Structure 1
Amino acid sequence: MTVYDTLLCLYMVSLEVANDCDLEPVAYEFFTQAFVLYEEEIADSKAQVTAIHLIIGTLQRMNIFGVENRDTLTHKATGYSAKLLKKPDQCRAVYACSHLFWVDDQDGIKDGERVLLCLKRALRIANAAQQMANAARGSSGPVTLFVEILNKYIYYFEKGNPQITSATIQGLIELIKTEMQSDSASVLPVSDAFFASTLRYIQFQKQKGGILGEKYDSIKV
């Protein structure tokens, strides 16, 4: 861990304290300095991935920001996430940003439309990552990212996000099946097991019944 990584961690700890003490201007300044540090001093790609996820996770827990300040910070976090060096890292950071727009313990932060925009953006990045893998290997790239995004869709579906419908989930399931059945697909065992586990979970909810089971009833696995 470099001195800058340590400094970023200290900023995040300070942010938690500022949040607990209801010091919005102080917290906003700490975030501003954290973003400056990220942009100017953290150059290693792996360190950037760790740093942006740390920032996203901390911002998700903040409950003192007004609408304008929170929008500014979430915009910055999402923007930096989409600029990470590797496409898979971009994808995972962008879908992590969806949690900035839907926070369970904060009633005022449930923006289903912006959650969906994050997930769609992550899906486009995943598709771009697969196309790059296709060009490099001469075969289809792994579908792990698509399965990860499917699980995010399922999470928000169960949380009651009206923008995430059973039809949307069905479409993503069919997309993944098509990719995995491709003659040239590079299906890693972990991807296959992850997808199978996800489908078993959906089937379990369907069989269990109740309100949640009814939500899943129209989804074919």
Structure 2
Amino acid sequence: MRRTPLLLAAASSASLLLAGCGASTPAASGDAPEVAPAAATEEAPALADGLLPADRFAPGGTVTQVTGDEFAALLGGDHADHGSPADVTVTPQACVDALTAARTALGDPSAVEDAAGQYTRTGFTGTGEVLATGGPAATVVGTLTDAVAACPTATVATPMGQAVVTFGTVTTPDLGDAAAVVPVTVTVTRDQGPGMTGSALVGVVSDGDRVLGLATGGLGAAPDAAAFDALLADAAQHAADTLG
């Protein structure tokens, strides 16, 4: 399935919920290959160089890098043109229509030229950052705000249970060419086992042909909005300073 901002917001929250429940994660960043910085007189910096340094992204925490190849696998080229599984139902219809409109606006994920990311996890919370070039960089912010306006609350029903995804008021910080921050709350009711509720903040910044995504959240209380806004601004400025 093509990833849309609406789905990314829900997926970010759902992933953090799973992390809080003990889901497995990839190897720590110490196992990831190191990328040597480019010389000033040679090639332009790698996209990964635009990610926040670990001591600013997660002071005192463990940071795991995500490569462009891993993002390509996540997009799932073999499944990019498939719709939702037959046993998953999204309501109301306005949300289905919003997803369809978002897929059209964002186009083919294969148009993304490069991607790099990182994440950190502490207890029941986590934070992830991604940079990508090409593809929907110029349209992602507008697509996100349009989708949230059309679908403030979505219910996702599966054979294992039901999730209610609620999007809060969108804010538009003065970053890059365009930016948006969306609060997300996910309440999961399962047929077996206790339910759970998690909250997240999802931010996107468009800057030329580059898009920055940042998400933080987990089980329980909502993340600190002021701290998230400061981290998003720091990430956007670092990417601009490093990558131009």
Do both share a fold (TM > 0.5)? Answer: no
Identify the structure with the greater strand proportion: 2
TM-score (norm 1): 0.26
TM-score (norm 2): 0.24
Mark the structure with the bigger radius of gyration: 1
Q: Which has the higher contact order (CA 8 A, sep 6+)?
A: 2
